[in-house]
Amino acid sequence: MPIQNFIRTSLLFIASFLILSSCGSPGDARKIPPNADDRVRKNIEEGRGFRLGNFGGPKSGEFDFASSNELWRASLDTLDFMPLALANYSGGIIVTDWYSDENATNESIKISIRFLSNDIRSDAIAIKVFYKECSLQTNCKVVDRTNELSAELTKQILTKAAVYEKENKNKTKKRKYINKKLGD
């Protein structure tokens, strides 16, 4: 019994110490906004807030989600009818699996897109197109036909990416306008 009481008392003391030591000082009242919304906005701008471990904490680098990269999104949308073999955002590559439509059962196509830049320019992506023609299942010939289709794919991807970029800019402008109105 005495050992259990000692353990209980020790745990209670440690827990109390940890809770009280994490409170910190209240700070300078002149620098803390009285309005709760203003305090929240200030804390977010300064990177403060409630955190569990590293969740929501400061990052060591700047990372974008793949969905925020217009070129990546446009490429995936352009190739959405084809099964993907590989889509690696951090590696900057998309590779489709062999694809054939029901009309050409002996002919398949495979496309790979390599991202050289995040900018929406014609030299930001490198597209390779391969055709596979099979007379029998075991007798196949793979031919690189990059020049024939890659220019058309590049144009289509860049057009979609430009539309996505314009939509993103409009959303950003709208967000800034709303934040400015909330700040007034």
User: What are the sequence ranges of the domains in the chain?
Assistant: 66-178
Q: What pLDDT, on the 0 to 100 scale, is given for residue 61?
A: 43
Calpha distance 173→88 (Å, rounded): 30
CB 78 within 8 A of CB 153: yes
User: How is domain 66-178 classified at the CATH fold level?
Assistant: Alpha-D-Glucose-1,6-Bisphosphate; Chain A, domain 4 (3.30.530)
**pLDDT tens track of the chain, all 184 residues?**
577 777 778 777 777 766 665 555 556 666 677 777 777 777 666 666 554 444 444 444 444 555 678 999 999 999 999 999 999 988 899 999 999 888 877 889 999 999 998 888 889 999 999 998 887 667 888 888 888 789 999 999 999 999 999 988 887 777 777 777 776 5
